Amino acid sequence: MRKFLIGFFIFFSGIAAGQSNLEDFNHSPKWVDSAGQINPDPGLMKYFQSMKFVCHNASGFTPEENKSAAKAFSELVQYTSEGDQIKGFWNSPEHKQKREGLLATAIKAGSWKAAYVNSVWAIKYPSAETPIEVASTKLHELVSRGIPIAAYKYASYLFGRDYETMYYLYAEAIKRGSPQAMSAVGGTIVVRVQELHPLGKQLLECAVGQGYAEAYDHLGLLADMEGRRVDAYRLWEKGINEGCEGCIKKMSNLAKVRHGYSADVPMMELMPELTRIKEFNENNFFYQLTELPDFYRRLPDELIFHLNDSELLSLLKLEKFSRAL
């Protein structure tokens, strides 16, 4: 046992000594995820293998609201944003009546955004008044109008049911600049089709350029796969501060090098700064449900996450050791 521990220590020390500063870890071995390499998704290959991607902004393909519709919808946004700060807001009959009234007023004024919110809500929470079939039809009407986020959202509901149509709609949404669709497809490409990594990277960079934070999760993974491990964590750091939920999960690995860590302790318990950010994000119900930029709220300055270089170096050394086993 003593010889084993000595050997173990020497082995770990050798690994740690091999890369002693952060920049060294940006030249780590490359790796690939074999999940889709043997049998790539045919729908993905059909619509994206030969795609000539041009980075469009969704704003150029998104219809503007008329003045009355914009005003009515902004009142809904303000009311629900303030309501998120009230305990029990979403379960209160009084607030529900007010919220539904504002939504109905915006729809009547011609707001496509309100119609979109209403459809997405009803698909998630169908009722006798608005069955899921009716909500799906209403959402498809918005897709037919060429609205990028509607095409993306409709496509996302087809996952596991109709991949052919799902990828077709994603491709159409991407042509119209949907950052959400770019992130969904780019992220899939990263883990499924190595030969399309250049396209995946273009999609993801275009998405973050429009402020869509979730794409940072996939960009970080791509950097990791390319051996740029420091860049990966820097990208996840940026993503966290822009609202990327997946990035929080990646960054929670820092708990492994913090005092008190063990397999029995949930990592987020040792990452209070990430816990506060996660709570802030989750306290924005309509944005999480719809992904409409109108509902997005920027992280307050006091919650901004700053990655500690010393902790990052310790984590990268630990992860290198774990991967070497």
Give me the pLDDT at residue 11, please: 42
CA neighbor of 136 nearest in space, from 149, 148, 122: 122
- The answer on pLDDT for 188 being more than 60 is yes
| pLDDT range class, residue 39, cuts 50, 70, 90 | low
d(CA 176, CA 149): 9
Which band of pLDDT confidence, cut at 50, 70 and 90, is reported for residue 165?
Answer: very high
Q: Can you list the alpha helix ranges (DSSP code H) found in 109-162?
A: 112-124, 132-144, 148-156
pLDDT value of position 85:
94
pLDDT of residue 37: 60
Q: What is the mean pLDDT of residues 131-139?
A: 96
**Token pair recorded at residue 276:** 């506060």
Asked if residue 5 has pLDDT above 90, the reply is no
Average pLDDT over residues 117-131: 93
Q: Would the pLDDT of 44 be above 70?
A: yes
pLDDT band at 271 (very low <50, low <70, confident <90, very high): very high
pTM recorded for the entire structure:
0.92
State yes or no: pLDDT of 266 exceeds 60.
yes
Over range 21-25, report the average pLDDT. Answer: 95
What pLDDT was estimated at residue 13?
46
Residue 6 above 50 pLDDT? no
